[in-house]
Chains A and B, each alone.
Chain A
Amino acid sequence: MHKPEIAITRERLLAAREMVLNMGPQHPSTHGVLRVILKLDGETVIDLDCDIGYLHRGVEKICENRTYVHIEPYFDRLDYVAAVSNDLCYVETVEKIAGIEVPEKARYIRVILTELQRIASHLLWLGTHAMDIGAVTIFLYAFREREEILKIFENYFGARLTANAFRIGGLQYDIYDGFEEQVRAFCRILPERLKEYETILNENRIWLQRTVGIGILTAEEAKDLGVTGPVLRASGVKWDIRKAFPYEVYDQVEFEIPVGENGDTYDRYLVRMEEMRQSRLIILQCLDTLRKLHPGPVMGKVPKIIRPPVGEVYHSIESPKGELGIYLVSNGTSFPERLRIRPPSLINLQALKKMAIGHLVADVVALIGSIDIVLGEVDR
């Protein structure tokens, strides 16, 4: 069993001038069941330890006992606010090891939906992060826009959160009538809504005092810790799997990788806001291409029982939280020998200690929010 580094004993409590404080597991701002053990001097954090595993379901073990098709819906439950990205990573891994070709049209639809999911995930992050810090209005506004995306998902997949989005070899459904108009309508309203959030937050003195200079992570530290995603990019490292190892059709669309300068909480906010704009541009480009491809197949040739050849594969995508990777070992049967998930949230969470030491307890709330963790993915 994992034993926290900081033992809480009566003697230590009485003798030391430091105080040990348990934050969580039932704490609204830990975004799930994360227990943070804080060692405090007054209100300043001296040391910090994360106790995880409260949401462990053994997904990797479950996957060993399911066929490749059966595993699909379990990936919705890892990062449940970005289920589509998780599904994409899984189906691509199996397609890679089994050598299944996906029709081009399906690739474009996949990218559109994954980028919509990225916007939805960032909007949820913005809302909850701002609410942790104290700006409750943003929460309601961000959820209003997210609702539009969830309506598209409901029309397309038949579910809002646990989408079970993609099938190995393509897609289950073709686009429905009015899909393009609905997505374009959302893309039309998004920039002005993002501007509204920025009007409320960017100059707000309370927001600035809570975020600027809080939890600085330099580029070197971020690379050493293996941090990926917006947290890494906010530190000034231009690293994005979509550009570095393009999957699907990301090599055919143009977009920028936003980077920050200081690597503080405010920069992480700015990077994510810019990422939403870039995602919107990707969606618009893909919609233009999709129109040309429209009457076309969305499902490739897939054998009835998927039995990939013996071997192993690692595949990673840029999920909204960072690099989501799957390492899959196949033994030639219809069950995987081993399936290991590299969740971005777990590895980004390791940076919390580096960020939080020297800051106040209230800043830990802001920092957990700024890393954007989902405990379903941390504990798996």
Chain B
Amino acid sequence: MAEPRRNWKQVLSRFLLLDLIKGLLVTFKYQAPKHCYTEQYPLVRPRVAERFRGAPRLNRDPETGESLCIACNLCAVACPEDLITVVEAIREYVDHEGKTKKKRVLVDYTYDTSRCMFCGHCQDVCPTYAIELTQEFELAIYRRRDFVWSWEMLEKGIEQPLYTR
């Protein structure tokens, strides 16, 4: 490639490294500590957004203490990876009028977080807001089998490690 002809101004600026100094000035401007963008992650946990899709949780009714899940199986159907298992049973119970009625209840619920891609389809379809993806994001564990979260695990959540210096 032929070098383009330059006038004396361009030659001088090239000789004085002005093109490089211009760029270095921008870099130098950001040396001040107020321009620090780094997050001190394990020590300072970041605040994630309200809509963040993280670890799953199966909610309980805060008043009665019963599980909100009505075992309708919609989340299992909506899941593209087919990783939710809902085990249901029909239980007979006597209501306050003394009649025997049948009711569908949840027996077991497992959620395989190793295959989950956190698309949020399960929480979209849930009619009772039982399954929910929370703001928890630290899901690393030591054993592979622990990826499958049981009903109990889904309710109490993963234990957060405490990082100290």
Contacts and interface: CB of A to CB of B under 8 A. Distances in A.
B19 A204 contact: yes
A185 interface: no
Contacts of B51: 154-158, 173, 176
Nearest to B25: A199
Contacts of A71: 80
A73 B19 CA distance: 46
Contacts of A73: 80, 117, 119, 121
Which of the four size classes fits the interface of chain B? 20 to 34
Chain B CB within 10 A, most for which of A158, A162, A205: A158
Contact of A69 (B23, B37, B121): B121
A144 interface: yes
Given A155-B49, A159-B118, A66 B26 contact: no
Contacts of A157: 51
A74 interface: yes
Nearest to A208: B19
Given A70-B80, A155-B49, A199-B22, A147 B118 contact: no
Interface residues of A, number: 32
Contacts of B49: 151, 154-155, 158
Most chain B beta-carbon neighbours within 10 Å: one of A159, A173, A205, A213: A159
A70 B125 CA distance: 13
A213 B1 contact: yes
B78 interface: yes
A289 interface: no
Contacts of B14: 205
B interface SS class: loop
A199 B51 CA distance: 38
B124 interface: yes
Interface string B5-49: 000000000100001101100110000000001000000000011
A137 B29 CA distance: 13
A154 B52 contact: yes
B23 A204 contact: yes
A270 interface: no
Interface string B107-130: 000000000011111001000000
Given A74-B80, A196-B26, A200-B26, A158 B19 contact: no
Interface string A61-98: 00000100111111001000000000000000000000
Interface in A115-164: 137, 144, 147, 151, 154-159, 162, 164
Interface of A: 66, 69-74, 77, 137, 144, 147, 151, 154-159, 162, 164, 172-173, 176, 196, 199-201, 203-205, 212-213
7 contacts: A73-B80, A158-B49, A158-B52, A162-B118, A164-B119, A204-B23, A213-B1
Given A162-B119, A205-B14, 19 more contacts: A66-B80, A69-B78, A70-B80, A73-B117, A77-B117, A147-B37, A154-B48, A154-B49, A154-B51, A155-B49, A158-B49, A158-B51, A158-B120, A159-B52, A159-B53, A164-B119, A201-B23, A204-B20, A204-B23
